[in-house]
Amino acid sequence: MAKSLKDRLTQALIDSKLITEKDLERARNLQIKDGGGSLGRILVKEGILSEKDLMSAMSKELSMPAIDLSKYKVDEDCVNLIPEAMARQYRVIPICRFTNTLIVAMADPLNIFAVDDLKALTKFKIEPVLGTETGILDAIDRFYNSEDRSLSDAIKNAEDSNLEVISIAKEEFDISEAVLEGETPPIVKMVNLIIQEALRKRASDIHVESEEDYLRVRYRIDGNLQEALKIPKKNQNAVLARLKIMSGMDITESRMPQDGRFKIRLQKKEVDFRVSMLPTAFGGKVVLRALDKANLSMGLDALGFSSDTLARFKEAIAKPFGMILVTGPTGSGKSTTLYSVINQMNTPDKSIITIEDPVEYQVEGITQIQANSDIGLTFANGLRSLLRQSPDIIMIGEIRDSETADIAIKASLTGQLVLSTLHTNDAPTAISRLIDMGVEPFLIASSIVLVAAQRLCRVICKFCKGKGCNKCNSTGYLGRIAILEALAVDDKIREMIIENVSVDDIRNYAVSKGMKTLRDDGMEKYKNGVTTMEEVVRVTTEE
């Protein structure tokens, strides 16, 4: 019995050692589990096979030409012959036309249903050529997502969002034309889809930015911004109005910065969003920061700390009083680490109070105070008040001034465990920073039990091992992990602080006692195959 084209192709992949029989069996099981789909797409999606190797094998076996769409000029007149919804559904894009023949790039030319549907729709003979799925989707984004395309068309072709906004402003505002449009189903659906897609791609931030001719949407994924969407300028006010309404902002205020927050539920998972809005020359910029509380329930053991660093942290948090500091630049994961610590210590027998600006994660069982300098509720004033509540553990969002530092350190000497953050490049420098703030060295020496400096570096994608695949958006990285240097303050370091010894001498002593620097911890993760040398160098350049 003659083999089908699909069987010949899979056999060719096995013969060329691109896949194994075991890989094929796994892909077929997934195909059955998912109710169908292309075997080739499943092999690529699972990181078993690269798109390039699949296209090369298909081209050879099917005697069909392959095309690199990034280097090919597509005839834009032909693009209009196939609706975007069908192009995305079948992973196809028309590239040119000769008399009654339409040349179409296809990721799966063996899909006879797609060929028949295209033939019936266009009334042309369909001549397939091979293209990678990524290349075709990129081309669809380029040629269908033009500024002239209306928002309603984009939404019509999109899947329904299953995102539910469960916490939204209830205030009534002066309803302008923008607000009316902002509450219409197309705009609501578009904003929901933007949020849903951001969460699907594991974005930590969504940037919605007014440009001169359009509204740009970008996602921060694993620390790097990636452009996601351009929305026509005519829809700008409506989208910004919708985001203001969701976040509880004043819809009538367009000249002053505003902050807000809201909560959504997506597939039984709740995510808080902290929202910041700035007026700009072309309208406004909104940044939505996703705060996923599921990350906090993992505990310290799941944060990726090296064994000796983890041991130092656990020893420090076991102490009944003292101060623990986590240092690093904005976006280095300091707050997540501290929240993981207090979440682990959040038991009925402990009173935990935080003062933050703003409150990032809302955690049940913990008393959280929002600092507000406009009404005189500064970190220092808030600290004075909360100390009267007899807490066991205090978390201060950031030590920004000498008054806050002085009160925090004195609190750590009178029976409280105090956790906070500082902006310094490494752990030993935190000591000199506190001295610069006017804190007496003997108080620092008596109070601090641990200083940890932290960075986040990207993790090599486990599906493609760094080559780039659909799972990691072709970046080669999937997720981030913390690298730390943890300075445990012993008697010798206390003496060095009191004697005003240099930061370099303290660092050298700590290293001699086993402290790994940020670079050392990063290199260990590189040697273990967790990240790359480039990532370690990138996040530790100041060393």
Q: What is the pLDDT of residues 363-401, one digit of tens each?
A: 888 999 988 887 888 888 888 888 889 899 999 989 988
Measured from the Cβ of residue 513, the count of other Cβ atoms closer than 10 Å reads 12
User: Where do we find the tokens 């003659």?
Assistant: 2
Averaged over 20-30, what is the pLDDT?
81
Single-letter amino acid code for the residue at 382? G
Distance of CA 450 to the CA centre of its chain: 28
How would residue 177 be classed by pLDDT, with cut points 50, 70 and 90?
A: very low
Model pLDDT for residues 65-89, shown as the tens digit of each residue: 888 887 777 887 888 888 887 888 8
User: Cβ distance 79 to 97 under 8 Å?
Assistant: no
- Tell me the three state secondary structure of residue 227: strand
User: Cβ distance 476 to 460 under 8 Å?
Assistant: yes
Distance (Å, rounded) from C-alpha 300 to C-alpha 528? Answer: 20
Q: In angstroms, how far apart are the furthest CA atoms of the chain?
A: 88
Model pLDDT for residues 219-234, shown as the tens digit of each residue: 999 888 888 888 888 8
Model pLDDT for residues 429-458, shown as the tens digit of each residue: 999 999 999 999 999 999 999 999 999 999
The whole-number pLDDT of residue 45 equals: 77
User: Cβ distance 429 to 329 under 8 Å?
Assistant: no
Measured at the alpha carbon of residue 61, what is the angle toward residues 58 and 63, in degrees to the nearest 5?
95
The whole-number pLDDT of residue 422 equals: 92
Model pLDDT for residues 336-353, shown as the tens digit of each residue: 888 888 888 888 899 999
Distance (Å, rounded) from C-alpha 460 to C-alpha 351? Answer: 40
Interacting residues of 73 by C-beta distance below 8 A, sequence separation 6+: none
DSSP assignment string, 412-427: HTTT-EEEEEE--SST
Model pLDDT for residues 259-303, shown as the tens digit of each residue: 998 888 877 777 889 999 999 999 999 999 998 766 665 567 667
Distance (Å, rounded) from C-alpha 223 to C-alpha 236? Answer: 26
The whole-number pLDDT of residue 507 equals: 94
The token pair that represents 366 in the structure block: 């913990």
How would residue 171 be classed by pLDDT, with cut points 50, 70 and 90?
A: very low
* pTM score above 0.95: no
Give the DSSP H or E segment for 443: helix 441-447
User: Cβ distance 273 to 169 under 8 Å?
Assistant: no
Interacting residues of 55 by C-beta distance below 8 A, sequence separation 6+: 66, 130, 131, 132
